[in-house]
Copies of this chain bind each other. A is one copy, B any other.
């Protein structure tokens, strides 16, 4: 177990947002309660392609994804679609929708799924109890992921985005199962990958070929095989999840002054 934990911790350092130490215990405890609540419900299977969330669905319960892949997407009347988030086994789906009205987004099953479901009302109860911290943890992790997605969409090219996505899946799957090899099944179509990364399926295809020719990763029959993890990490730019270290800037003129919360500042100008 020691060894596995070490591996897990290494992966987590790269990919998972850590929580403040004072919350760690609260979050772990709350997560247990959440899981226990889910466990009480009967598991449900839905076939691939099902829309489990969306404008027509009412009630909008909260799901725990026990097996299979799903995604959350926004789409426009003209047919463009953006996939904001991809759910892997173990993820909780619909936390935001339990608070926010008008679930703008739809959630679609990529593969057949196994779901445990609890009702919004029950979940609302949980939100008030000691479980709150754990739910903050869930939302926060989700948001952290989307932040990174937005950053990548804004400033990184197709190769880098693809590398980031593949590394992300790898590390998330590995977190659940530290024994997983550097190879995993990726059930998404190239169209879906494109919708996630803001590319066309044609371009996704070409970039994948390029990555294969460079012997970094290859995808064959929906199986990803990572051939050079280091170079893939480097490409993805997550050899360092915290993208910038102290004072490290290249473009001098963009450097904002650091002032922070130091003493003097505070009194100097207090009361506007």
Cβ-defined partner of A142 (8 Å) among B79, B80, B143, B150 = B143
B250 touches A77 (CB 8 A): yes
Interface centre among A121, A144, A269, A271, by most chain B C-beta atoms within 10 angstroms, is A269
Task: State the oligomeric state as a number of copies.
Answer: 2
Interface pick from A100-108, A166-174, A205-213, A214-222: A100-108
A179 on the interface (CB 8 Å rule)?
no
Chain A 248-266 near chain B by CB (<8 Å), digits 1 or 0: 1111001011111100011
A272 touches B45 (CB 8 A): yes
Chain B residues near A58: list those with CB within 8 A.
261
Chain A 37-66 near chain B by CB (<8 Å), digits 1 or 0: 000001111110111101111110100000
Interface pick from A20-28, A180-188, A225-233: A20-28
A202 on the interface (CB 8 Å rule)?
no
A99 touches B136 (CB 8 A): yes
Chain B residues near A23: list those with CB within 8 A.
99, 124
In the complex the two chains form, what is the Cα distance from A76 to B251 in whole Å? Answer: 11
Closest residue to A72 on the B side, CB-wise?
B147
Closest residue to A150 on the B side, CB-wise?
B150
Tell me the A113-141 residues at the B interface (CB within 8 Å): 114, 120-121, 124, 127-128, 130, 132-133, 135-137, 139-141
A143 touches B150 (CB 8 A): no
A246 on the interface (CB 8 Å rule)?
yes
A243 touches B143 (CB 8 A): no
Chain B residues near A271: list those with CB within 8 A.
42-43
Cβ-defined partner of A140 (8 Å) among B96, B198, B257 = B96
What are 23 residue pairs bridging A and B, where the CB atoms are less than 8 Å apart in the complex? Answer: A17-B100, A19-B100, A23-B124, A42-B266, A43-B272, A49-B256, A50-B260, A54-B260, A74-B151, A75-B249, A77-B243, A77-B245, A79-B249, A79-B254, A80-B155, A81-B254, A100-B144, A136-B136, A136-B139, A146-B146, A150-B150, A154-B195, A155-B195
